A and B are shown apart, each in its own frame.
Chain A
Amino acid sequence: MDIVVSGLSKSFGTNLVLDGFNAVFPEREITCLMGPSGCGKTTLLNILMGFIKPDSGSIQGVPALKSAVFQEDRLCETFNAVSNVKLVLNSKSDSGIIVEHLNQIGLKGSLDKPVNELSGGMRRRVAIVRAILAKSDILFLDEPFKGLDDDTKKDVMNYLLDNLKGRTVVMVTHNMDEVKSLNAGLIQMEGKSK
């Protein structure tokens, strides 16, 4: 089922961020949101994730099982990468699969360290694996490549291409190359998005 957003408005105090925003996010496709800072991309994502309520408008078709890479990594700092992924999986899940995914994304050798000892780029990749492995019907990715160098970005892009096939994804990005690489649909947002 496609996600249909109609007439969505949201303001924080006197700052109107979304003004009657309309969009359709097709099922099992990747849709990217682009636009200048402050145009309401993250606010829209937060509304879709259910963290904040819109002032008006309607949203239909958002699945119950959600997964996300947040703008901040939101990891449990004193736990290692495997534990951070385990957190969102059911208790019977196989640690081997988690390790396989973390190795695939270039974290081999850093799996035993608490995530607060990892670099920003490594932490970002832990957050990405967590979002990919969590059982979900929709993924929200808020600037997933933030803080990654070019080589790592290439590896992560390949990893995402392998793991996002046939999944409904809403991704915030500032980079047109990312949209093209992911063969994603694009929704361009302006200030006070309509």
Chain B
Amino acid sequence: MNDNNAKKIRMEKTAAVVFALIVWQAGAMLLDNSMLLVSPLTVIKRLFTLFFESDFLSSVSFSFIRIVSGFLLALAAGSLFAIIAGRVHIVEVMLWPFMTAIKTVPVASFIILCLIWLSSSNLSIFIGFIMVLPIVYTNMLQGIKSTDVKLLEMANLFNVSWYKRLKYIYLPQLKPYIISAGSVSIGLAWKAGTAAEVIGIPEGSIGEKLYEAKVYFSSADLLAWTLVIIFASIAFEKLFLNFLKKFFRRLERS
């Protein structure tokens, strides 16, 4: 994609966002009821005041640490399960009902069920983990299965060590699958993790703030905190994908 095309796409997207904000502002002005639909300007104003509140950073870091931990744990566990399932077919068969169940059971059912077992403060770790696990597992397993058999034959013939196979053959071939799993599941981890916090209401979390906004019918607070969640999710996604790109660049140059 050349620079002109990229610039054009950026301009189009900016125009679309501006248009959506105008539609939102017009709707809010027509309804003229901040409880039903608060205007974007009010939300942005509220967002700026949020930054200066004493518990803003602690709430964001509380949720960020837990949701990101859940995601990273799922990334590690999903990859490990996929590696084992890729080598031992029976493990893949045995894991199938669990992964299918996790994918199809509504997240609210998991949250309520898990509230019985876990403290509400750690609930978002587990819910983030459980929602991301099947996505990482499925993507990685697909990547492992599509590894070039001819390269593996070559590695067998030359008695290439397991570490070198991972570095030269598996990781480069898994790269698109890891990136795809990451970009799909980070947003999901935030959605599910926040939902868990709204239901579990752990003290000092973003979920608690959303719950309070619901109790006090404060649409401005609700949408301002929602924007905070979106920014945190996008920031972590960019950070994670940049880390992956740098990691693979280094790997290929080493």
Q: Within the complex, which residue of B153, B158, B160 is in contact with A51, where a contact is CB–CB below 8 Å?
A: B153
In the complex, the chain B residue whose C-beta lies closest to that of A70 is B154
Q: Check B153–A77 contact: CB distance below 8 A.
A: no
Does A83 have its Cβ within 8 Å of any Cβ on chain B? Answer: yes
Which A residues lie within 8 Å of B156 (CB)? Answer: 50
Q: A49 vs B155: C-alpha distance in the bound complex, in angstroms?
A: 12
Q: List 27 A-B pairs, Cβ < 8 Å.
A: A50-B157, A51-B153, A51-B157, A66-B158, A67-B157, A67-B158, A68-B157, A70-B150, A70-B154, A74-B150, A74-B151, A74-B154, A76-B168, A76-B172, A77-B172, A78-B172, A78-B252, A79-B168, A79-B252, A83-B252, A83-B254, A87-B155, A87-B160, A87-B164, A88-B158, A88-B160, A114-B252
Q: How far is the CB of A92 from chain B (nearest CB, A)?
A: 13
Q: How far is the CB of B167 from chain A (nearest CB, A)?
A: 9
| Residues in A6-25 with C-beta less than 8 Å from chain B | none
Q: A174 vs B168: C-alpha distance in the bound complex, in angstroms?
A: 32
Does B77 have its Cβ within 8 Å of any Cβ on chain A? Answer: no
Which A residues lie within 8 Å of B115 (CB)? Answer: none
Does A72 have its Cβ within 8 Å of any Cβ on chain B? Answer: yes
Q: Within the complex, which residue of A49, A66, A72, A83 is in contact with B168, where a contact is CB–CB below 8 Å?
A: A83
Does A134 have its Cβ within 8 Å of any Cβ on chain B? Answer: yes
Q: How far is the CB of A70 from chain B (nearest CB, A)?
A: 7
Does B169 have its Cβ within 8 Å of any Cβ on chain A? Answer: yes
Which A residues lie within 8 Å of B254 (CB)? Answer: 83
**Contact size range, B:** 10 to 19
Q: A50 vs B244: C-alpha distance in the bound complex, in angstroms?
A: 37
Q: Check B157–A49 contact: CB distance below 8 A.
A: yes
Q: How far is the CB of B161 from chain A (nearest CB, A)?
A: 8
Which B residues lie within 8 Å of A68 (CB)? Answer: 154, 157
Q: Interface digits, A59-70 against B, CB 8 Å rule (1 contact, 0 not)?
A: 000000111101
Q: Which residue, A66, A68, A76, A83, has most C-beta atoms of chain B within 10 A?
A: A76
Q: Check A87–B168 contact: CB distance below 8 A.
A: yes
Given contacts A79-B168, A88-B158, 7 further A-B contacts (CB under 8 A): A68-B154, A70-B154, A74-B151, A74-B153, A76-B172, A83-B252, A114-B252
Q: A74 vs B158: C-alpha distance in the bound complex, in angstroms?
A: 12
Q: A76 vs B148: C-alpha distance in the bound complex, in angstroms?
A: 10
Which A residues lie within 8 Å of B151 (CB)? Answer: 74, 76
Which A residues lie within 8 Å of B160 (CB)? Answer: 87-88
Q: How far is the CB of B39 from chain A (nearest CB, A)?
A: 50
Q: Check A66–B164 contact: CB distance below 8 A.
A: no
In the complex, the chain B residue whose C-beta lies closest to that of A127 is B154
Q: A17 vs B155: C-alpha distance in the bound complex, in angstroms?
A: 26
Q: A53 vs B169: C-alpha distance in the bound complex, in angstroms?
A: 25
Q: A68 vs B158: C-alpha distance in the bound complex, in angstroms?
A: 8
